[in-house]
């Protein structure tokens, strides 16, 4: 918990503290009042004594407009109050300029295990990103009952609170509530002036300030020097913001000793003051004593931490002092900020130095400092901060710096705005001033947008252009930008991007060659590149059904990410998708849930649209495998898009295939035929197989045979999934045509292709003729056949359910399916995204409907009825 020391003018406010006690029973508390109303002081007083065991306090800063930075600060604050437990930092992510749906849902789930916790976000008005503000509001509404969000702001946040208000979930404290009472004003004035202020003067000041704490404090400072004419002072004191500003500049500053006045004006240029910084900027050796004195005398300075090593001005007073300094000494602010920048530069504190230079409008030095930033900003996900720095420099001051434009474009692309990035990079590539190195850099980074774009051929073309330039000019040495534009980095980036683009285009053989080439390239040692390349290759192998190699590659990628502290980085998304795809293919759809959530967090982190689409395709396949065809159809809805751009060809093929599969399993096989459209025969392999299955399922065997004849038999060593599907189609047609021997032979060969990789799902998805063939083969073969039959039983329990006097609901069937995993009630509740009490209610209904009294009896009865598989999956198949 944060327990920063307060100024000596702190006044206890028990009436408001008592009111704030309701925050422990309310999802969101909103404290909105003007600057100087005492919001922060009140919240610190209350959190120090409210009894909540855990308080995660975040003082918001302008830089927190970057969603990645803000997410990290919130998660770090939560981790800090629970040392020794698994950190939440791996959840870090954002989406569309905000925190992202997946992050909010995952955080809400993780916080269920916390003790009673307060999350305090102070100075919310500093966040101007509307998506981010709205997401913070939604986070408050989604938090579990043991966690409460407290927002303090000068202005009402742009959040729709109506639902929370209607159900009493929002506690609001506003300006009128924070107005000081007569007793509170008396105490504050006594602390500031050092004497009791008469009641008539207090009454005048309260009326003129309307109880505004900062106004009372400022009046007290004036009374400190005006004891002889205190009444006249009170009668003329003006307590509004504007009038206080005038009063501060005309009266209070004038009343201060000249040295103190100059000192305050000069110190006000600093956001945060430390002894060393103040000593350097003002060339003084008594900075520590000076700051303590200013804090003790209530001259607008407050300590930020218990150790009293960092101080700041009250925001309102600092702004007023800066304004006065600019009027009285126009060049002083830039001069002092320049000295502050020198201090930070000497210590390698680049962000603080850059902020000082930007405020000083020293554009040349600011640009040079910004251009020293390295790839760490990409690795930490803080692209938006550097984008803000560059954008703060007027275009006229950076018009001649193509390297600055290149860095801006690279960062915008990394942050997820691929359209803007490609536009900027294309302009750089076409600029007659651009060197060969800059043109190669621009094309290589255009190619890197493959996972954001629906037209992979454009990324392939950009990669080819970059490689041609590098090959034709081997001596070209591009100017270093972010440490990522050396020839080796550009070559590795272009080759790997071309591999990803070819994968998305459906050219899997070439994609594999290019990705393997990239892993052998010179800059493949750069960890984010290596993690992404290994993950992309793992996903490609999983896409083709090569589960064994996909698993090894995904593990290598995630081990490398973990070792480098990059598990939360977007580059790890592909590896998690590979694991999810592999789990579904193995007939273990429930095992795909965790890696799918992990992949979603990372792909949303910088809006990798194509990876989001791939995640939706895998999630839809998982839903089909679990009998949730409605969810599958929603996830595979290409036309709905939910704000996403269109999927790339290979991903579109997979989505169409899963859509058709869901319709087949929903008993709408004839409808599935219409999903492909008139060019069905030209579809990719996934949709082609589903078209074959639909034709077979509707008895159109001649058409199915003709279509199958156009499909060259895939190589089981490179494409085991497609080889299995091809053989199953042959087996189904032969069996329905009465050619049992060839059908059995094709089914046997399909099992031979599938068993080395543990591919069970195509057998579980297959229709009637395959079921009979599997039943026959089960006499002599076990393992994969058992897994397929068990999956089919798990997917279609509804006939047995319908025979119950009171059938289980879909939600109860989902809970029932998890019982054999021997998870705790807390774990089961987390898996089902419900509270423990709700889970217990579901379990009570299941036990009653099955006529049993506990979990073990429910599992046994469900297996007896056919609602659960008769045996557990064989360990040998847990690949």
Asked if residue 171 and residue 25 are part of one domain, the reply reads yes
Q: Which residues contact 590 (CB under 8 A, 6 or more apart)?
A: 626, 817, 818, 821
Q: Are residues 30 and 162 in the same domain?
A: yes
* Together in a domain, 58 and 189: no
pLDDT of 97 reads 62
Which CATH number does the domain housing residue 875 bear? 1.10.10.10
What share of the chain has pLDDT > 90, as a percent?
43
Q: Is 328 inside any structural domain?
A: no
In a domain, 674, yes or no: no
pTM, two decimal places: 0.74
Q: The CATH number of the domain where 521 resides is what?
A: 1.25.40.10
pLDDT tens figures, 358-370: 999 999 999 999 9
Residue 469 lies in a domain: yes
Taking alpha carbons only, the member of 286, 318, 281 closest to residue 299 is 318
C-alpha dist (Å) from residue 777 to 697, 731, 765: 22, 13, 17
DSSP tally for the chain: helices H, then strands E: 49, 8
Residue 805 lies in a domain: yes
User: Among the ranges 55-64, 83-92, 500-509, 807-816, which has the highest mean pLDDT value?
Assistant: 500-509
The answer on 121 and 190 residing in a single domain is no
User: Looking at the domain assignment, is residue 669 inside a domain?
Assistant: no
pLDDT digits (tens, 9 = 90+) for 16-54: 888 999 998 899 999 988 777 888 888 988 988 887 788
Residue 826 three-state SS: helix
Distance CA 520, CA 162 (A): 56
Are residues 200 and 229 in contact, defined by beta-carbon separation less than 8 angstroms? no
For the cut 50, the answer to whether the pLDDT of residue 877 exceeds it is no
User: Are 238 and 96 in the same domain?
Assistant: no
| Range of the structural domain that residue 409 is part of | 401-525
User: What are 188's strand-pairing partners?
Assistant: none
Q: Which pLDDT score, from 0 to 100, does residue 244 have?
A: 63
Confidence of residue 155 (pLDDT cuts 50, 70, 90): confident
Do 95 and 202 reside in the same domain of the chain? no
**What total of structural domains would you count in the chain?**
4
Q: Answer yes or no: are the C-beta atoms of 67 and 58 closer than 8 Å.
A: no
Residue 167 and residue 186 share a domain = no
- Angstrom distance (rounded) from CA 531 to CA 286: 51
Q: 8 exposed, middle or buried (CB, 10 Å; 0-12, 13-18, 19+)? A: exposed
DSSP H helices, 21-100, are 39-49, 67-80
Lowest-pLDDT choice from 383-387, 477-481, 563-567, 855-859: 855-859
């Amino acid at each position: 918990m944060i327990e920063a020391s307060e100024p000596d003018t702190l006044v206890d406010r028990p009436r408001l503290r008592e009111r704030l006690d309701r925050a422990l029973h309310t999802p969101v508390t909103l404290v909105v009042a003007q600057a100087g109303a005492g919001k922060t002081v009140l919240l610190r007083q209350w959190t120090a004594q409210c009894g909540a065991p855990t308080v995660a306090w975040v003082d918001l800063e302008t830089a927190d407009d970057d969603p990645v930075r803000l997410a990290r600060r919130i998660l770090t604050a939560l981790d800090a109050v629970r040392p020794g437990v698994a950190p939440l930092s791996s959840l870090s992510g954002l989406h569309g300029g905000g925190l992202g749906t997946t992050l909010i849902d995952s955080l809400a789930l993780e916080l269920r295990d916390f003790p009673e916790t307060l999350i305090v976000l102070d100075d919310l008005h500093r966040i101007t990103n509307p998506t981010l503000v709205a997401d913070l509001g939604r986070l408050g509404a989604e938090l579990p009952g043991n966690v409460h969000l407290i927002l303090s702001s000068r202005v009402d946040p742009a959040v729709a609170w109506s639902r929370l208000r209607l159900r009493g979930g929002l506690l609001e404290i506003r300006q009128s509530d924070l107005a000081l009472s007569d007793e509170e004003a008396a105490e504050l004035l006594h602390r500031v002036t050092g004497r009791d202020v008469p009641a008539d003067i207090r009454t005048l000041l309260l009326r003129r300030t309307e109880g505004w704490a900062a106004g009372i404090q400022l009046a007290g400072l004036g009374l400190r020097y005006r004891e002889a004419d205190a009444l006249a002072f009170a009668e003329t004191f003006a307590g509004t913001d504007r009038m206080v500003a005038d009063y501060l500049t005309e009266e209070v500053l004038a009343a201060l000793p000249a040295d103190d006045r100059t000192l305050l004006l000069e110190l006000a240029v600093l956001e945060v003051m430390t002894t060393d910084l103040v000593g350097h900027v003002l060339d003084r050796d008594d900075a520590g004593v000076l700051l303590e004195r200013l804090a003790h005398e209530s001259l607008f300075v407050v300590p930020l931490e218990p150790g009293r090593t960092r101080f700041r001005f009250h925001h309102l007073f600092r702004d007023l002092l800066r304004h006065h300094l600019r009027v009285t000494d126009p060049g002083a602010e830039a001069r002092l900020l320049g000295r502050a920048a020198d201090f930070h530069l000497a210590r390698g504190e680049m962000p603080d130095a850059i902020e000082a230079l930007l405020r000083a409008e020293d554009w040349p030095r600011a640009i040079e400092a910004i251009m020293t930033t390295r790839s760490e900003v990409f690795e930490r996900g803080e692209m938006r901060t550097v984008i803000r720095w560059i954008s703060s420099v007027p275009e006229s001051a950076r018009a001649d710096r193509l390297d600055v434009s290149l860095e801006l474009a690279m960062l915008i692309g990394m942050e997820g705005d691929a359209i803007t990035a490609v536009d900027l990079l294309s302009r750089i590539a076409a600029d007659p001033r651009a060197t060969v190195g800059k043109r190669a850099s621009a094309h290589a980074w255009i190619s890197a947008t493959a996972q954001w774009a629906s037209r992979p051929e454009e990324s392939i073309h950009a990669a080819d252009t970059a490689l041609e330039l590098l090959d034709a000019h081997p001596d070209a040495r591009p100017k270093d930008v972010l440490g990522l534009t050396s020839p080796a980095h550009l070559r590795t980036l272009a080759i790997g991007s071309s591999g990803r683009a070819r994968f998305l285009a459906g050219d899997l053989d070439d994609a594999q060659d290019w990705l393997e080439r990239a892993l052998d390239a010179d800059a493949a040692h750069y960890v984010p590149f290596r993690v992404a390349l290994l993950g992309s290759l793992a996903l490609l192998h999983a896409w083709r059904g090569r589960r064994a190699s996909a698993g090894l590659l995904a593990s290598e990628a995630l081990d490398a990410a973990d070792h480098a502290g990059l598990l939360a980085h977007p580059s790890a998304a592909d590896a998690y998708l590979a694991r999810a795809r592999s789990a579904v293919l193995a007939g273990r759809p429930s095992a795909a849930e965790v890696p799918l959530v992990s992949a979603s967090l990372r792909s949303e982190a910088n809006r990798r649209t194509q990876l989001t689409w791939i995640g939706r395709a895998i999630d839809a396949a998982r839903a089909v495998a679990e009998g949730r065809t409605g969810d599958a159809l929603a996830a595979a809805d290409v036309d709905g898009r939910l704000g996403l751009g269109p999927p790339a060809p290979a991903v579109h093929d997979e989505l169409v295939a899963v859509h058709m599969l869901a319709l087949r399993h929903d008993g709408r096989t004839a409808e599935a035929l219409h999903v492909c459209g008139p060019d069905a025969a030209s579809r990719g392999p996934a949709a082609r197989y589903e078209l074959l299955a639909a034709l077979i399922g509707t008895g159109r065997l001649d058409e199915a045979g003709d279509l199958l004849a156009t499909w060259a038999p895939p190589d089981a060593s490179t494409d085991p999934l497609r080889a299995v599907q091809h053989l199953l189609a042959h087996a189904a047609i032969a069996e329905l045509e009465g050619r049992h021997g060839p059908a059995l032979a094709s089914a046997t060969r399909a099992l031979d292709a599938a068993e080395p990789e543990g591919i069970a799902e195509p057998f579980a998805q297959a229709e009637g003729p395959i079921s009979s063939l599997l039943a026959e083969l089960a006499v002599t073969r076990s393992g994969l056949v058992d897994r397929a039959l068990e999956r089919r039983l798990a997917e279609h329990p509804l006939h047995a359910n319908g025979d119950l006097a009171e059938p289980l609901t879909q939600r109860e069937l989902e809970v029932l399916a998890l019982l054999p995993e021997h998870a705790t009630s807390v774990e089961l509740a987390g898996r089902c995204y419900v509270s423990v009490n709700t889970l217990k209610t579901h379990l009570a209904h299941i036990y009653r409907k099955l006529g049993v009294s506990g979990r073990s009896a429910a599992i046994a009865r469900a297996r007896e009825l056919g609602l659960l598989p008769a045996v557990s999956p064989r360990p040998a198949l847990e690949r």
